[in-house]
Structure 1
């Protein structure tokens, strides 16, 4: 007599199967991100590859961002850091964003894995592509959305991100002194005004040529 295949179980797994199921989901996520990139991969496609119900993926992971953090083994959620910084007056966004990033990277439990992930971003291959898409989708576009309907919102967000990444590289990856040992408050005091300028066009203009160009553009 032909035996019928056991139906795929929905919901929460029981007993020792939990660790195996989570590992299978992570393996499937890594494969999906590698083949399709962060944008194209979906919870459903990951669940299909892992041969589990999509609700089971959500049981272990809140969303795709959580899956990325687990796949690259970084105890850091850049999307949550940015989302926390976005809450509050936009006029203070630069300082909030920079403080949040510095606080995360100053955590000794986070920094080694985060440094490895950052180096991966500037490399080649599927992992680098996945991380770049993730950062653009979950950080750049969130920042741009917060900046409103300005036609150059994405450009502003990318310029601001370039400032933050530059600080991270010099302070934590290259560990150049004196920035590597500079107190957080001093870094914020020196960098946040430029960061805020990129984000909103407010704050001190550091280059007289840029100021002249801005005034000319407004006069047209």
Structure 2
């Protein structure tokens, strides 16, 4: 019962359409971002649009979450900043992209952050999370930068990165969720040696896309 709650209080009314910095603003931003990312994808979602949906100033979105990419990571509850992985992939020579991608992924999956990644994948497979968010993460964030590097005027690379995504999902599910042996116990270096060349072929080799 504070004095400011009475009808005669002198407090200025809060501005319509804008939430104060507290009072659930962070949760409202996450809910708005989840809906936007699921409906429009990563590229077509702006921080300003998320802020409008949440009823906050765009500066508050940046205050809580930093970049749009970090906001997405928070939405899907990723335990690691994707930029940490992407920097390594960006700097890899084109002819070593396959092994770099699988090595970077294994570095996360086998790290203390790994159980959080597995939990996210389990929730998607169980139908308790929106698969559109997983597609957005894989194709619009992680692999889009790779696609741009391998794209040519004749081949935009979308089929290639989709094949890479399918391979990575299979390895993750087999190694960390189902526990297929010997995949689950295989040393990371051995797995890189086996899977890396397959990813490389998907990215830069012959995948039989020639059209008559």
TM interval, shorter chain, is: 0.7 to 0.9
Deviation at 1:171, TM superposition (A): 0.8
Give 1:24's aligned residue: 28
Deviation at 1:125, TM superposition (A): 7.5
| Distance in 2 between residues matched to 1:194 and 1:188, nearest whole Å | 10
Select which of 13, 16, 23 maps to 1:5.
13
The residue correspondences of 1:60-79 to structure 2 (distance < 5 A) are 60-78=64-82
Change (3 A) 1:43 1:149: same
| Distance in 2 between residues matched to 1:150 and 1:102, nearest whole Å | 32
| Distance in 1 between residues matched to 2:45 and 2:126, nearest whole Å | 21
Give 2:141's aligned residue: 138
Deviation at 1:91, TM superposition (A): 0.9
Deviation at 1:89, TM superposition (A): 0.9
| Distance in 1 between residues matched to 2:191 and 2:122, nearest whole Å | 23
Deviation at 1:123, TM superposition (A): 5.7
CA contact (8 A) 1:85 1:96 kept: yes
| Distance in 2 between residues matched to 1:136 and 1:198, nearest whole Å | 15
Per-residue CA deviation, residues 25-80 of structure 1 (Å, 9 max, x unaligned), is 2233234445x343444211221232221122112223232122212322123454
Task: Give SS of 2:77's match.
Answer: coil
Select which of 147, 151, 161 maps to 1:148.
151
Give 1:205's aligned residue: none
How many residue pairs get aligned? The number is 200
Deviation at 1:134, TM superposition (A): 3.0
| Distance in 2 between residues matched to 1:22 and 1:145, nearest whole Å | 33
Q: Which stretch of structure 1 is more off in the superposition, 131-140 or 118-127?
A: 118-127
> Where in structure 1 are there 5+ consecutive unaligned residues?
203-209
> Where in structure 2 are there 5+ consecutive unaligned residues?
1-7
CA RMSD of aligned residues (A): 3.3
The residue correspondences of 1:70-89 to structure 2 (distance < 5 A) are 70-78=74-82, 80-89=84-93
Give 1:183's aligned residue: 187
Give 1:207's aligned residue: none
Give 2:119's aligned residue: 116
CA contact (8 A) 1:140 1:154 kept: no
CA contact (8 A) 2:70 2:81 kept: yes
Q: TM-score, normalised by structure 1?
A: 0.75
CA contact (8 A) 1:33 1:126 kept: no
Change (3 A) 1:93 1:116: same
When you count helix as a share of all residues, which structure comes out higher?
A: 1
CA contact (8 A) 2:65 2:74 kept: no
Select which of 45, 50, 53 maps to 1:46.
50
Q: TM-score, normalised by structure 2?
A: 0.77
